[in-house]
Structure 1
Amino acid sequence: MKRRDFLTIGVAALATPALVTSASAQQLSLGEVSGYLNQLVTAQGGFTQINGDGTLSTGQIYIKRPGRIRFEYNAPDNSLMVAGGGQVAIFDPRSNTAPDRYPLNQTPLSIILESNVDLAQRRMVTGHTSDGTTTTITAQDPDHPEYGNIQLVFTANPVELRQWVVTDDTGGQTTVILNDVVPGASIGEAKFNIVGEMRSRGFE
């Protein structure tokens, strides 16, 4: 999987499968959303990714905040993306070379994986709207808007992140929706150990 594909992946791990249909749903404040993200320390589940070309990818996702996330793609892709130790690694099973590696802070993941998410205090929020059912927050790195942006779609009562849409640096969009997400799951550190993953694949 190419780097650009990875940069359009990042916050789906917090989603749940179905949208609330009540038209009376409230618009969530930035403080409520920040609090929700900060209390969600671990989560795991499945995901469906709608790629920019209309194709679908599926897989499993694991989150352990702060700073750790893992995307395991199902066949025929079979790619793996791991963030840990301030780095992101993309493993391509069709390649016999070491994975591509990038700083975590150069991806949209850094916005929701930091230790203290405070959307109200930072200049990252560029949009905050509600359609009566969901609240949509658009965020980007205020110092590097060229990295693209993330639209986070939430429902209330209880607060849950349902899906996201990422616009990359070329204007391409990717949507991710998760299913069967389990908050508070016990996830071992080995899931996010990039060096250990490289060794298990014979790269070190």
Structure 2
Amino acid sequence: MPKHLLTAALTASLVVFSASSAMADKLSLNAISNYLNGIKTADSPFTQINADGTISTGTISLSRPGRARFDYNPPEKALVMANNGTVVILDRKINGTAETYPLNQTPLSIILAANVNLAQANMVTAHGYDGTATIVTAQDPRNPEYGSIQLKFTDSPTELRQWIITDSGGSQTTVILGGLEKKSLPRSLFNIRDEIDKLN
């Protein structure tokens, strides 16, 4: 075989091999959905990169479906909680101050749903592999104007490592997880009313 044809054949083989390897490593939407549905209660330290470039740290606690809690480390005194279809932002620096939003108007509702099904029509807008992790971008197919969430997963075993929320105004917030650990968490940890009462 002429040298230039041999080189072309080897190059083509490497391209096919690389594509096949990436496809083998990319997690399917069903596998990711099953993983998220398998999370009942878990927590993790996190690092948050805010839209203005500042960095916050803290601990996230999840209790699916529908409940989440973000405890921010000092010097911040913020607490963000989701429960009963509502997201509440509490500023402990200003006693009694609370902002509330419907959970279903935030992209976080996608992973807190009772039944995560990323394979449903028009939910996933991007699904790829960057060489180390599977990256999925999802939105509420009925209300795409609420923003999107980009999720990053590693495999063997499947683990959620990061998400980036893009809100309706285009601002982005990145949350990097330090290691999501499945564990038993008390329901009282997600009681919004108790936390509001503590401020008064």
Give the structure-2-normalised TM-score. Answer: 0.84
Asked if 1 retains the 8 angstrom alpha-carbon contact of 2:161 and 2:179, the reply is: no
The reply on whether 1:96 has 2:95 as its aligned counterpart is yes
Q: CA deviation at 1:24?
A: 8.6
Cα 1:24–1:123, aligned 2, differ >3 Å: closer, same or farther? closer
Shift of residue 53, structure 1, vs aligned partner = 1.9
Match of 2:191 among 190, 193, 198: 193
- Give the match's secondary structure for 1:66: coil
Q: Which stretch shows the higher mean deviation, 31-40 or 44-53?
A: 44-53
Contact 2:61 2:70 (C-alpha < 8 Å) held by counterparts:
yes
Amino acid paired to 2:188: A
Which digits, 9 at most, give the CA deviation of each residue in 1:85-124, with x for residues without a partner?
A: 1111110122234411121111112101011101112421
* CA distance in structure 2 between the aligned counterparts of 1:182 and 1:68, rounded to whole angstroms: 16
User: Deviation per CA, 1:167-194, whole angstroms, max 9, x where unpaired?
Assistant: 12222222111114321x1111111111
Which position in structure 2 is the counterpart of 1:26?
A: 25
* Greater mean alpha carbon deviation, residues 110-119 or residues 97-106: 97-106
Deviations 1:120-166 (A, max 9, x none): 12421111111232111000111221211111111111111111112
Question: Identity across aligned pairs (percent)?
Answer: 55
Q: CA deviation at 1:50?
A: 1.0
Q: How many angstroms apart in 1 are the aligned matches of 2:139 and 2:23? A: 29
Match in the other structure for 1:51:
50
CA RMSD of aligned residues (A): 1.7
Deviation at 1:25, TM superposition (A): 6.2
The aligned residue for residue 149 of structure 1 is: 148
* d(CA) in 1 for partners of 2:23, 2:121: 29
SS in 2 for 1:116: coil
CA contact (8 A) 1:25 1:156 kept: no
2:108 and 2:149 in contact (8 A); partners too: no
- On the 8 A contact 1:81/1:90 being kept in 2, the answer is yes
Q: Which amino acid aligns with 1:188?
A: P
Number of the residue aligned with 2:161: 162
Per the alignment, in what secondary structure is the counterpart of residue 105 of structure 1?
Answer: helix
Equivalent position SS for 2:62: strand
Residues 24 and 133 in structure 1, CA contact (< 8 A), matched pair in contact too: no
Q: CA offset at residue 23 of structure 1?
A: 7.4
| Number of corresponding residues | 180
Distance 2:162 2:98 in 1: 28
Distance in 2, Cα, partners of 1:131 & 1:47 = 22
Moved over 3 A (4+): 22-25
One-letter identity of the residue aligned with 2:156: N
Structure with bigger gyration radius: 2
Letter in 2 for 1:197: E
Decide whether aligned partners of structure 1 residues 182 and 67 sit closer, same or farther in structure 2, where only a CA change above 3 A counts.
Answer: same
In terms of mean alpha carbon deviation, does 70-79 or 98-107 score higher?
A: 98-107
* Aligned equivalents of 1:122, 1:84: Cα separation in 2: 27
